[in-house]
Amino acid sequence: MARLGKNCYGKSRVRLSRIVRHGDRHEFNEWTVHVFLEGDFESSFTEADNSKILPTDTMKNTVYSIARDSQAETIEAFAMELGDHLLTNNPHASGARVEIEEKAWERLIVDGIPEATTFRLGGPELHTVRAVRDQGRLWSVRSGVAGLVILKTTKSAFTGYMRDRLTTLKPATDRIFGTSATVTWEFAEGAAQDYTQVRERVVSALLKEFAAHVSMSVQHTLFDMGKAALEAVPEIVNIRLTMPNLHHLLADLSPFGQDNPIHIFVPIDEPHGYIEATIER
């Protein structure tokens, strides 16, 4: 006999741009919103009964409608506002999950002066949030950054590793270390936070440690980066880092009668090493 297990449904990749006008100065945001409900939806799966299903198209419209009047200044605040609305208006739903990615638009600086209504994309990374709440409970908020592309050209080694008959990798005492990091951190449940300031402090601590760290492996650097973030930002209870090792392989110039004194490389991103860990207090 078959039975329904854990399930949810919702609307994914709802794209939203927002202008907040303060006289002649504007703020600009670009968000991608994903919203999901869990709850008493079994009959829709097992009995073809849609009477408890809020259409996902309605969820999409709800995103835009809530955004119209929202005073939220951060993706964290908007995620909780949107989720609260959906849980209040769908009491048969046991919980809501809202995930948002925000592009890193920043104000353009012209001749040293911030432009009031002009913006540039600050980098490839995305600001992220994952907010989860069950009916009658407080929000659990996990903020982060995705696609944080960083690279150092020295202070990185990899030696002393296991070897077997299939090992061809040569030890390296001075190598390029590049990654596109995904980082998330968890706040204490229900605590009010300055999410923007915390994100800035976390990223600053991560980058400072990455630059200074004398790395013996990606694992070694990942742990010390997480440790530095926890020490710098007491508001977070843990931090999770995913750091693919985006390789730069030394090019073989010997067929051309040339040496290569750690000078010319071939960048590759597939296949790559994959290292992930959560650092906790």
Q: Are 54 and 115 in contact (CB under 8 A)?
A: no
**How many CB atoms within 10 Å of residue 15?**
11
**How many CB atoms within 10 Å of residue 97?**
18
Catalytic residue, candidates 60, 103, 127, 247: 247
Active site residue 263: no
Q: In this structure, what are the phi and psi dihedrals at residue 273, rounded to the nearest 5 degrees?
A: -65, 150
CA distances from residue 15 to 30, 60, 63, 101, 226 in whole angstroms, order as listed: 8, 9, 9, 10, 31
Active site residue 56: yes
- Spatial distance between the Cα atoms of 96 and 90, rounded to a whole number of angstroms: 10
Active site residue 22: no
Catalytic residue, candidates 32, 56, 196, 242: 56
Catalytic residue, candidates 11, 34, 60, 127: 11
Q: Catalytic residues, which ones?
A: 11, 56, 247
